[in-house]
Amino acid sequence: MKDIVFIEELKVQAVIGVYDWEKTIKQELLLDLEMEHDNRVPAQTDDLSKTLDYEAISNFITAFCLERQFELIETLAERLSDEIIKIFSVSALTLTVRKPGAVPAARSVGVKLYRTA
């Protein structure tokens, strides 16, 4: 069993949506990320370079969402998970992307995916 490094409810801004009006504004998304990682080496060495740097990953996610435009959160989630796996050498991850307010009667809607390297 792998250890998990996680980020919960990361707030990011993104141009996301299928409607014309959505393509002209930034909307808030909430992301949860669980990344499988063996934390024994970082724990033994107390060395940040040996672990998953959640600040660096959070900054990457924020920039990724600001720099790109997608119609579907499914597309954003798939492409983002691919990049995180490649750039940060994550063996597996679970990514949840929520779009609050997209459905007025629901607190949030979104997608959740699990991917491996």
Closest CA to 76 of 20, 117, 27: 27
Q: Which candidate in 2, 23, 99, 112 is catalytic? A: 99
- Report which secondary-structure segment, H or E, holds 41: helix 40-45
Structure tokens at 66: 């600001």
Q: What sign does the dihedral 34-37-40-45 (CA atoms) show?
A: negative
Active site annotation includes 50: no
Instruction: Cite the active site residues.
Output: 99
